[in-house]
Amino acid sequence: MSEVIVITSGKGGVGKTTTTANLGVGLAKRGKNVVLIDTDTGLRNLDLLLGLENRIMYDLVDVTEGRVPYKKALVRHKKYETLFLLPTSQIKDKSAVNPAQLMVLCDELRKQYDYVIIDCPAGIEQGFKTAIAAADRAIVVTMPEVSAVRDADKIIGELGRAEKDNISLIVNRIRPQMVESGDMMDMSDIDDILSIKCIGQVPDDEMVVTSANRGEPLVGNPKSQAGRAYDNIVRRILGEEVPFMTFEKDGLFTRLKKAFGM
């Protein structure tokens, strides 16, 4: 049974695209057939995070306007054979694709692939409405920050109005040290407002930046806390019960080093 999942957030910069790339790679690593659709037309990034920019021939707009069949536009990942990217146009804007077109496309993709993951643009306008139209399930990404949580709340309301009932939450870029000292919202503060099922808590991790620069998502990388957290999310999506990890905090020595700016 295939599933269409939209990754959304309202606010920009919380890690929608990073999450999409990591979940896609994670699912492919576990043998699933996965298509990632970038719907952030005009500001596409997903291809960069996957390191596939130089392989793009056609894009989403070519497909929805019927110029090429979708098979031609799909870019196979260089490492994971069951992972495909459907990039969007960098030239057009959000009005180039409408909800009905994406729904038709997703219905086609459903027949071939286990998971279709849609990377939603920031905002609540047309791009957002197009991205969520075909989704069976929505994953809202937020950060422990008042503005991100406030926007996530708005998005959950919007999803409700669009009759998307299967909504879960990923809290990204948690800084355990700050949570502990009371300088950052903790999970209970976030749950208090959003009150939806949480399927992931991802710590802030410098390796996310380096992996993005290299175009290799770090899901499953045992050296990275964020990599392990993303792997846990993949397992939860596949229906496993995985307990939330406890974050390792920096040791005294590392903290001293940071304090002295080393």
In the complex, least distance from residue 188 CB atom to another protein, rounded to whole angstroms: 12
Is 14 an interacting residue with respect to another protein (CB under 8 A)?
A: no
| 193, 238, 242, 245: residue in contact with another protein (rule CB under 8 A) | 193
Phi–psi pair at 170, nearest 5 degrees: -120, 125
Residues 6+ apart with CB under 8 A from 18: 49, 172, 208, 212, 217
In the complex, least distance from residue 82 CB atom to another protein, rounded to whole angstroms: 37
Nearest partner of 8 among 147, 117, 104, judged by Cα: 117
Residue 204 and residue 173: Cα distance in Å, rounded? Answer: 4
In the complex, least distance from residue 158 CB atom to another protein, rounded to whole angstroms: 8
Is 157 an interacting residue with respect to another protein (CB under 8 A)?
A: yes
Sheet containing 167-174: order of strands? 75-76, 83-86, 34-38, 115-119, 3-8, 137-142, 167-174, 197-203
Is 151 an interacting residue with respect to another protein (CB under 8 A)?
A: yes
Beta partners for 138?
6, 167
Q: Would you state the structure tokens that stand for residue 248, as one six-digit string?
A: 């390792």
Is 174 an interacting residue with respect to another protein (CB under 8 A)?
A: no
Nearer residue to another protein within complex by CB, 67 or 154:
154
Is 147 an interacting residue with respect to another protein (CB under 8 A)?
A: no
Q: Which stretch binds another protein (CB under 8 A): 33-41, 66-74, 170-178, 187-195?
A: 187-195
In the complex, least distance from residue 157 CB atom to another protein, rounded to whole angstroms: 4
Residues 6+ apart with CB under 8 A from 45: 17, 38
Is 65 an interacting residue with respect to another protein (CB under 8 A)?
A: no
Is 156 an interacting residue with respect to another protein (CB under 8 A)?
A: yes
Residue 136 and residue 216: Cα distance in Å, rounded? Answer: 28
Is 160 an interacting residue with respect to another protein (CB under 8 A)?
A: yes
Nearer residue to another protein within complex by CB, 47 or 151:
151
| 166, 195, 210, 254: residue in contact with another protein (rule CB under 8 A) | 195
Nearest partner of 95 among 68, 58, 67, 121, judged by Cα: 121
| 65, 183, 192, 250: residue in contact with another protein (rule CB under 8 A) | 192
* Footprint on this chain of another protein (rule: CB under 8 A): 150-151, 153-154, 156-158, 160, 192-193, 195
